[in-house]
Amino acid sequence: MVPSYFSSATQQNENNLIVILGHGQLARMMYLEASQLGLNIIAVNANTKECVNPVDKSILNITLDEAFEHAAVITSEFEHLPLDLLKKAELSGKFLPNEKAIQAGADRIVEKRLLDSVNVRHCQNVVISNVEDFDRAQNELGPRIILKTSRDGYDGYGQWRIFSEQDLVDVKAQLKEHNFEKMPLVAERCINFERELSLIGVTDKNGNHKFYPLTENHHADGQLVLSIAPAPKVTLELEQLAQNIYKKISEKLDYCGVLAIEFFQVGDELIVNEIAPRVHNSGHWTQQGSVTSQFENHIRAVAGYPLGETQVTASVAMINYVGHGKPKADLFTVPNTHLHWYDKQVRPKRKMGHINVTGATPEQMLARVNTVKNFLPDALAKNLAPIIDI
């Protein structure tokens, strides 16, 4: 029997239906792009397993099983999925990218084994399986260590800095009752890097790749504040190095869709910080700065459509709007300023939206960002001030 969802006025051909696991802002932006391609999107609340509209969050009159049955393809907006939902998606035979890729993005230990298997440089590390391993980590990695949970860490959560003997004592005490069997930790050597760069690429079902230019990222309190694209002072050799690393990882994973890789740049070398098997915060600039956004290209890839072009159309900055209510309309007095609002309840450190600012030149774009700063809450403006430095 055809579910009632499909018998309504919004009925779509089954081949046009894409199911997205997760119903946050990334699913919302994929929904908006997919609608321009004539495709229909259902999002899944990963916790309740309810099917929802990712824009207004209304619950749809269709079950998860029905959605999976009628979907042409199933994809994901984030990697921290419940294991039963991830397994169900994989068993459908419609899941892109695949379970292997999602697990590599969700678990730092799996991720590091993947990077080792393709001979890609990443931060030297020690897996922490008990409190005694902290001493071994310090002996092997040196006095400055970043400690991370192996799973469920993001935006600075699930991380500790151990830069002194007292830090080590404090962290040991804090984690004395930690269940290492349930959640191993990963200790990484803290390296002195020049900047963080990210590469957003997209791979179709036939293994063809397209790449956006490297993006320069800036953080505050462990959270992305500003992305600038194309990243300044990037050589062709550095772009090629990043793309070669992408190809190694994506081919190992039999990947399809958008894949983001975060790098630390040290001279002419790139050290992988982490991978994200999905559309990524540092790629939001593509909405106004590229021929085809990362959101449209992810949908194109998993749906089997030809990939869109990734050429840059402007110099662009993406500003994360975090922890505050919607800005006033005065913001739009700044030319080429675009607000993407997620319609979420305000909470500290919560990403409420982002602002893309473009210019014909990097100098014009940065001047506009400097003006935009005047319309932001003080805390956000303060984070931007030392970065734009004009």
Quick: pLDDT tens for 132-147. 888 888 889 988 999 9
Share of the chain above pLDDT 70, in %: 94
Q: Is a pLDDT exceeding 70 seen at residue 168?
A: yes
What the chain holds in terms of domains, given with CATH numbers, is 14-95 (3.40.50), 124-189 (3.30.1490.20), 195-388 (3.30.470.20)
Residue 202's pLDDT is 98
Contact yes or no for 140/188 (Cβ under 8 A): no
Quick: pLDDT tens for 180-207. 889 999 999 999 999 999 999 999 999 9
Query: Minimal CA–CA distance to 127: which of 149, 156, 144?
Result: 149
Q: Binning pLDDT at 50, 70 and 90, where does residue 158 land?
A: confident
Q: Is a pLDDT exceeding 60 seen at residue 10?
A: no
Q: DSSP letters of 279-332?
A: --GGGTTHHHHBSS-HHHHHHHHHHTPPPPP--B-SEEEEEEEESSPPPPGGGG
List beta partners, residue 185: 128, 149
Residue 235's pLDDT is 97
Q: pTM of this prediction?
A: 0.94
Element containing residue 274 per DSSP (H, E): strand 269-276
